[in-house]
Amino acid sequence: MDIAFVLYPNMTALDLVGPYDVLSPGPDVTAHLVAATPDPVLAGSAMRLVPTTTFDELDHADVIVVPGGEPYDVLADGAVAAWLRKVHPTATWTTSVCTGSTLLASAGVLEGKRATTHWALRDLLASLGAEVSTDRVVRDGSVLTAAGVSAGIDMALTLAGILWGDTVAQGIQLAIEYDPEPPYDSGSVEKAAPEVVDFVRGVIASGFSADKDEAATA
C-alpha cells in the first residue's frame, strides 16, 4: 500500500507527523514524502523535511495525506492542486488535516462534499465549494478530512480502523500512547474564552495577510 504524504513550504509539521506515525507502520505500507522538488521543505521556522519523491515522479498512491499550514502561496501556485487532480481519481482514500482541506477543495476534490478544516478557515473552505462541517473528523465517500492540527491523529486512527480493523487501530493508539489529558479545556472555538479566540484569530489573520503580501510582490 503506497501512502503519499504531501510536503509544501510553510506546512505545519504535526499535521504530517501525526498521521505519519499512525499510518506508516501499518501492514505492507510504503510511505512516500512527495513535494514539488527534491529539495528540503521548510515546515515552520526551522524544521526541514526531505522529500523521497516528487510530484512528477509519483503518479499514483493508494492513500493521500495533505497537511495544513499557511496555504495561501500554495493555493496561488497551484502545484499541489494540479498533482491532486492527477492522483485523486485512482486513490482509494484522499485525506487532509487542518487547512489541507483548502488544497483538496482547490483541486475540485471537495465539490459538493462535506468537509472540515481549522475553525478559523471555515469561511475560506466554504468559498472553495465544500459543505463545511464543524466535526473533528468528516468522512464523505473516499475523502476524510480533519479539523485543526491535532485532529490529524484522530483522522489517521479512523482510517487505520477502516484499512486494518479495530484491533490494529487500537493497537496503534496504544503504541503511540494517544490518551490526551490536556492541562486546559480550550481546545475548540466553542470551549475557549472569547479573549483567547480573538487572540488566535488575530495571529492567524496576520500570518495569512503576510502570505498574501509576499505573493503579491513575488
Q: Grid coordinates in use for 4?
A: 503519499
Q: Residue 202, class by beta-carbon neighbours within 10 Å (0-12 exposed, 13-18 middle, 19+ buried)?
A: exposed
Q: Grid coordinates in use for 217?
A: 510582490
Contact 199, 191 (CB under 8 A): no
Catalytic residue among 23, 63, 66, 98: 98
Contact 12, 150 (CB under 8 A): no
Q: Residue 146, class by beta-carbon neighbours within 10 Å (0-12 exposed, 13-18 middle, 19+ buried)?
A: buried
Strands 30-35 and 2-6: parallel
87 is catalytic: no
User: How far is residue 89's CA from residue 94's CA, in Å, rounded to a whole number?
Assistant: 9
Name which of 130, 113, 102 is nearest 8 in CA terms: 102
**Catalytically annotated residues:** 98
